[in-house]
């Protein structure tokens, strides 16, 4: 009986020590990944300027390399399970993003936009790191692999723009049916009186830092009229009317006049090198029973090395902003027309 108890105690001690060792290796690997992520972000800022962050090398290959290194160093000491290879890289990546946000190296908007693709690529990197750590045998092959992976994002930056950079024009449209005559709707879109907080619906774009609309003024009611569209945080757009068809169509060019740096991160600022809003248009379509269908569309530019991913966010943000504006317009118009809706 005593020998059986001793064996059980030894087995329990062995399992406890293995758990501690595994935990230590995972912490070590996560620490390596975190250190790498922060180091490469600082290097990108001080060596290549903030513009080098908006590259395929940083956006895509940095999290891949981070995940690779985090798992590779743990795998060299002890084989890791598949789910650990996939999820361990999330720890240093999340910690690095929080650290960059707190250090004001990145705004919340950029962190949120980067996180989905970053987490996926970090997991892929973790799987590759697990395979490399398990099958590479010599110290030389391991050292060369680590060096190539760690510095690969920087190798991309000098030449990738010539291959991947593309200027693309995008159009986003929202449509809403308003239970009010076109004349009432027109009065609420040619100018937009100050919007109170309680008039706005819940908005995910506002949650991550995009400013709320405040009001839109109009200098005179014809082509050439100037609308000043103001948003929270001191953001101001100048909108010059080039189509004026009362109760039918209102269109205007848009120019960013004032975008404070503290309001929008420079990587997503309107009128910056990567993103700009160029045109806006309201189109009114009278329907039966006094209903007016309102089409609100906008045209914007994106200019990055990864437009295929960037446009998913710019389209979604513009759609959400337009939805918020139309929500306010609909409520105001239906209130003026004495229409009750939920």
> Across residues 209-221, what is the average pLDDT?
93
Q: What is the rounded distance in angstroms from the CA atom of residue 254 to the CA atom of residue 263?
A: 19
Tell me the whole-structure pTM to 2 decimals: 0.84
Residue-level pLDDT at 159: 79
Q: Is the pLDDT at 243 greater than 60, yes or no?
A: yes
> Across residues 174-178, what is the average pLDDT?
97
Residue-level pLDDT at 213: 93
Confidence category of residue 14, pLDDT binned at 50, 70, 90? very low
- Between 337 and 2, the higher pLDDT residue: 337
> Across residues 55-76, what is the average pLDDT?
86
Tell me how crowded residue 23 is: count the other CB atoms within 10 A of its CB: 10
Contacts of residues 152-156 at CB distance under 8 Å and 24 or more positions apart, as own/partner, are 152/57, 152/61, 152/65, 153/40, 153/57, 153/58, 153/61, 153/62, 153/65, 154/43, 154/57, 155/57, 156/55, 156/56, 156/57, 156/61
Residue-level pLDDT at 12: 46
Q: What is the mean pLDDT of the chain?
A: 85
- Asked if residue 250 lies in contact with residue 222, where contact means CB atoms within 8 angstroms, the answer is no
Q: Is the pLDDT at 28 greater than 70, yes or no?
A: no
Confidence category of residue 240, pLDDT binned at 50, 70, 90? very high
Residue-level pLDDT at 339: 62
* In the chain, domain spans: 2-161, 166-336
- Least confidently predicted of 81-90, 152-161, 188-197: 152-161
- Between 340 and 204, the higher pLDDT residue: 204
> Across residues 324-341, what is the average pLDDT?
87
- Between 141 and 315, the higher pLDDT residue: 315
Q: What distances in angstroms separate CA 70 from CA 35, 90, 99, one per listed residue?
A: 10, 10, 17
- Between 336 and 50, the higher pLDDT residue: 336
Residue-level pLDDT at 338: 79
The pLDDT tens digits of the residues spanning 118-146 come to 999 999 999 999 898 888 878 888 889 88
Confidence category of residue 13, pLDDT binned at 50, 70, 90? very low
For the chain, give the percent of residues with pLDDT over 70. 87
Q: Is the pLDDT at 60 greater than 70, yes or no?
A: yes
Q: What is the rounded distance in angstroms from the CA atom of residue 210 to the CA atom of residue 212?
A: 7
- Asked if residue 180 lies in contact with residue 341, where contact means CB atoms within 8 angstroms, the answer is no
- Fold for the domain defined by 166-336: Alpha-D-Glucose-1,6-Bisphosphate; Chain A, domain 4 (3.30.530)
Q: What distances in angstroms separate CA 65 from CA 9, 25, 261, 331, one per listed residue?
A: 42, 18, 31, 50
Q: What is the rounded distance in angstroms from the CA atom of residue 46 to the CA atom of residue 52?
A: 10
- Between 70 and 34, the higher pLDDT residue: 70
Confidence category of residue 64, pLDDT binned at 50, 70, 90? very high
> Across residues 39-66, what is the average pLDDT?
76
């Amino acid at each position: 009986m005593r020998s059986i108890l001793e064996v059980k105690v030894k087995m329990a001690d062995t399992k406890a020590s293995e758990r501690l060792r595994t935990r230590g290796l995972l912490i070590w690997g996560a620490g390596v990944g975190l250190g790498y992520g922060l180091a490469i972000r600082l290097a990108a800022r001080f060596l290549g300027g903030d513009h080098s962050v908006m590259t395929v090398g940083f956006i895509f290959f940095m999290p891949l390399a981070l995940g690779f290194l985090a798992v590779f160093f743990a795998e060299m000491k002890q084989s890791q399970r598949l789910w650990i290879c996939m999820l361990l890289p999330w720890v240093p990546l999340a910690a690095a993003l929080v650290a960059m946000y707190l250090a004001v190296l990145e705004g919340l908007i950029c962190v949120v936009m980067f996180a989905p693709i970053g987490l996926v690529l970090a997991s892929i990197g973790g799987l590759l790191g697990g395979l490399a750590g398990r099958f590479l045998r010599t110290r030389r092959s391991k050292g060369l692999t680590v060096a190539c992976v760690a510095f690969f994002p920087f190798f991309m930056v000098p030449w990738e723009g010539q291959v991947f950079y593309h200027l693309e024009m995008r159009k986003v449209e929202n449509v809403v049916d308003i239970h009010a005559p076109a004349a009432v709707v027109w009065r609420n879109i040619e100018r937009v009186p100050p919007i109170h907080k309680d008039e706005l619906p819940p908005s995910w774009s506002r949650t991550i830092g995009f400013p709320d609309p405040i009001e839109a003024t109009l200098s005179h009611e014809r082509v050439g009229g100037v609308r000043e569209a103001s948003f929270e945080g001191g953001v101001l757009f100048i909108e010059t009317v080039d189509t004026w068809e009362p109760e039918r169509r209102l269109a205007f060019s848009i120019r960013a006049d004032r975008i404070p740096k503290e309001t929008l991160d420079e990587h997503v600022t309107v009128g910056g090198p990567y993103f700009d809003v160029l045109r806006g248009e309201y189109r009114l379509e009278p329907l039966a029973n006094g209903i007016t269908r309102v089409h609100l569309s906008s045209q914007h530019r994106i200019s990055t090395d990864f437009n295929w991913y960037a446009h998913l966010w710019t389209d979604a943000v513009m759609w959400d902003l337009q939805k918020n504006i139309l929500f306010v317009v609909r409520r105001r118009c239906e209130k003026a027309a004495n229409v009750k809706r939920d």
